[in-house]
Amino acid sequence: MSSVQIRDVRKSFGNFEVLHGVTIPIEDGQFVVLVGPSGCGKSTLLRMLAGLENITSGTISIGDRVVNNVQPKERDIAMVFQNYALYPHMTVADNMGFSLKLRNAGSDEINKRVKRAAEILALSPLLDRYPRQLSGGQRQRVAMGRAIVRDPQVFLFDEPLSNLDAKLRVAMRTEIKELHQRLKTTTVYVTHDQIEAMTMADKIVVMHDGIVEQMGTPLELYDKPENQFVAGFIGSPAMNFLKGHVRVNGVATFEGPNGVKLPLKTAPAASDGRPAVYGVRPEHFTIADDGAEAEIIVVEPTGSETQVFAKLGGEQVVAVFRERHQFNPGDKVRLKPDPSLVHLFDDATGKRMNA
Amino acid sequence: MADVAIPRAKPQMSEASAWTQLKHNRNWLGFWFMVPAMAFLIFFLAYPLGLGIWLSFTDTRIGRVGHFVATENYEWLWDDSIFWLSVFNTLLYTFVASALKFAIGLYLALLLNENMPFKAMLRAMVLIPFIVPTVLSALAFWWIFDSQFSIISWSLKHLGLINQNINFLGDTTWARICVIFANIWRGVPFVAITLLAGLQTVSPSLYEAATLDGATRWQNFRYITYPLLTPIIAVVMTFSVLFTFTDFQLIWAMTRGGPVNATHLMATLSYQRAIIAGQLGEGAAISSAMIPFLLAAIMVSWFGLQRRKWQQGESND
C-alpha cells in the first residue's frame, strides 16, 4: 500500500494538450474515483499512472518514488481494464497466476496465491475454465483476481463495470467496495457514472476538459459544488438551473425567468442585480402555498418516489417527491425550493456565489 | 352441377398438393440452388482429378487412346531414379522454402505491426513481389542469376571478392539455392500480410495487461502473440506448403528442371514426361503420386486447425 501524488501533470498528443496541469493527492489506502464526461482525460491520467502513457510534464509518485521514468512492471500497480483484457488462451487460474509466473515464482507459491484470491472472489469452482466460458460478471471478477494475486501498492480500475448489465453493475459495485474495505489497498477508479463515484469513493475527483473541477468526499460535492459543472454532474436527476438576477430589497430573492420569484436565504455581498444561475436539486422542492406556480407536464412514479416534470417560469424543471401526491399533467402546483439548500452560481464564470 | 364438379375437383387437388408440397420443400429448392456450384465443381475439379487418376492407370500417349495397364506406370516410376530425385527435390524445396517463408514472413509481420512512419506505404510495398506475375519475376531472376550477365557476379567481381562468374543456374547446388530463393521472394508477402492481419486481431489491451503483469517484449510474443496467432499460422502455412509443393511456373521459367534434373520438381517432371515427351500415362502417374503428400499436409493442418479448447463455445458447462 502506498500513497500516490499527482503533481501538475500535463499530457499532450502532438500539439493537442488533453490534461492541463492536474494535481491530485491520494492518501495511503484511499479509494479515489476520477469521474467526468467522455474526453475529460480521466482515462489518460490513469494510463499515465500505470505507465502506459508518457507524462508530458509534472510528476507522478507512488510512495516516495517519482515514477515518471519507471517501467510499468516496476511500478507495482495492477490494473483492471474496461474489456477485462483476459488472456483468451489461458484458464482462469493461469490468467490470475500469469504475473507471478513472469516473476518466476514457484508453482506452489502461485497455486497458493491464486487459490486465496479465488476464494476471496468466489472463483474457486471456475479455475479451470477459459474466459469464453464465463459470464460477464465472472470475467470481471477474474480481472480483479488477476490484480489482487499480485498484492500491489495501487489498484487501478478503468471503467470496469461499463460492460455489465445494470443489475450486475450494482452488485459488483458493492463487491469492489467490500474488497477495498477488506484489502485496504490504495485504489484509483475511473468512471463516467456519477452514481458509481458517489457510492464507492472516499474521495471523488471531478474532471472536465483536462482539468480538475473539484475534489472532495461524495457528500461535500453533493452539498457544496464549487461550480455549475460539478453541480450539474453530481446528483441524479440532475440539478435544475434557472437563469436570472439576484434582487436585494430588504429580503434577498432571486428573479428567475419571466419574473418568477424564488427564495434565497441570504444574498452574497454586493450582488444586487447581478446575473446569476439559481440551482436547486429536484429533491429540494416542496409543495407550499408561497411557492412559485408551475404547470405539470409529465409525472413518473417509480414507487419509492415520484419524478415530476413541470414548467416553472417557462423553463422545465424536475422535482422529486417521496410523498404520494395526486398529480396529473396540466395541474398547477406551487413549487417551493428549500432556501437553505439552494445553490447560486455566477452567470459568467459558473463559480459558486453563496456560502 | 355443383354435385358433379366437387368429386372431379378432388383428385386434381390432391395431385396439385403433392406438386405444391415439392415446390415448398426447402430441401428441394436448396438442391436447385446448389446445382450451379455443384456443376462447376464437378466439371472443373472432380472430372479433371478423376481423369488424371484414370490416365495414370493407362498407357495413353498423345495421339493414341491408351489401354488400362493397372499399376504398370507406378512400377516403372518405382525403379526410376529421376522420379525419386524429383521427390527429394520437391520435399527439399517445400521444407526449406516454407520454413524460411514462415520465419521471414512472421518477422516482417511483427515489424509492420509496429507503429512507424509510412506504415501504409511499407505494407503496400511488401506486397509487390506477390503482384508481379510469376513468369515475369522468374525471368527477372533468370537474368539476375545468368551465367554471363548476372548482376551478383558482376558486383562481387567489382568488389574483388571473386575472379570468375558464378554459374548460378548451371551448378546443381547453386541452382537449388537460386530457385528456393526466388520462391521465398515470391511467397513471403502472402505469409507476411496474412500474419499481419492475424496480429491485428489481437486486442492491444492484452499487451498492456501483460506489460503491467511484468512481461518483456519477448514474453509478450511468447505468451500472448504466438498462442493467439497459431490458428492463422496453421492456415497460412498449409496454403504455403500446398503452393510450394505443386510449384511449376517458377522452376519451368528459370531452369526447366536442370541442371542434371537437380531442380526437377514432381510437377515439372510430370509436365516434361506427359506433354513434352507425350507419355500422358506416366506423367499422370507422377502427378497422382503427389496426392498422398498433399493429403498428409492437409491432415497436419486439419489437426492444427481444430478449434482449440480456449476457442470453444460460450456455454457455461
CB–CB contact B203 A85 (8 Å)? yes
Is the CB of residue A355 less than 8 Å away from at least one CB of chain B? no
Distance from the Cα of A138 to chain B's closest Cα (Å) equals 11
Is the CB of residue B227 less than 8 Å away from at least one CB of chain A? yes
Contact B255, B179 (CB under 8 A): yes
Is the CB of residue B309 less than 8 Å away from at least one CB of chain A? yes
> Across residues B137-166, what is the average pLDDT?
85
Cis peptide before A268 (omega within 30 of 0): no
Domains of chain A by start residue, with CATH: 4-233 (3.40.50.300), 240-346 (2.40.50.140)
> Across residues A141-152, what is the average pLDDT?
90
pLDDT at B314: 46
Strand A211-216 and strand A203-208: pairing? antiparallel
Of A78, A79, A132, the CB nearest to B314: A132
Cell numbers at A24, concatenated: 491530485
DSSP A267: P
Give the ipTM: 0.83
User: At A57, which helix (H) or strand (E)?
Assistant: strand A57-62
Q: What is the pLDDT of residues B90-135, one digit of tens each?
A: 999 999 999 999 999 999 999 888 887 888 888 888 888 888 888 8
Cell numbers at A202, concatenated: 472516499
Cα–Cα distance measured from residue A35 to residue A33, given in angstroms and rounded to the nearest whole number: 6
In the β-sheet with A186-191, what is the strand arrangement from edge to edge? A77-80, A154-158, A186-191, A31-35, A203-208, A211-216
Of B214, B228, B312, the CB nearest to A99: B214
CB–CB contact A98 B213 (8 Å)? yes
CB–CB contact A72 B212 (8 Å)? yes
Cα–Cα distance measured from residue A78 to residue A148, given in angstroms and rounded to the nearest whole number: 8
Q: Which residues of A touch B208 (CB under 8 A)?
A: 50, 52, 79, 81, 85
Cell numbers at A96, concatenated: 490470475
Mutate to test the interface with A, among B208, B212, B219, B307 (most CBs of A within 10 A): B212
Distance from the Cα of A256 to chain B's closest Cα (Å) equals 50
- Alpha carbon of B61 to those of B132, B273, B283, B289: distances in Å? 36, 10, 10, 19
Distance from the Cα of B313 to chain A's closest Cα (Å) equals 7
Helices (H), A149-201: 166-183, 194-200
Q: How confident is the model at residue B261 (pLDDT cuts 50, 70, 90)?
A: confident
| C-alpha of B260 from chain center | 26
Query: Does the structure show a pLDDT above 90 at B68?
Result: no
Q: Which of residues 90-119 of A touch B (CB under 8 A)?
A: 90, 98-99, 102-103
Is the CB of residue B315 less than 8 Å away from at least one CB of chain A? yes
Q: What are phi and psi of A189, to 5 degrees?
A: -125, 125
Mutate to test the interface with A, among B202, B203, B207, B213 (most CBs of A within 10 A): B213
Q: What is the pLDDT of residues B31-52, one digit of tens each?
A: 899 999 999 999 999 999 999 9
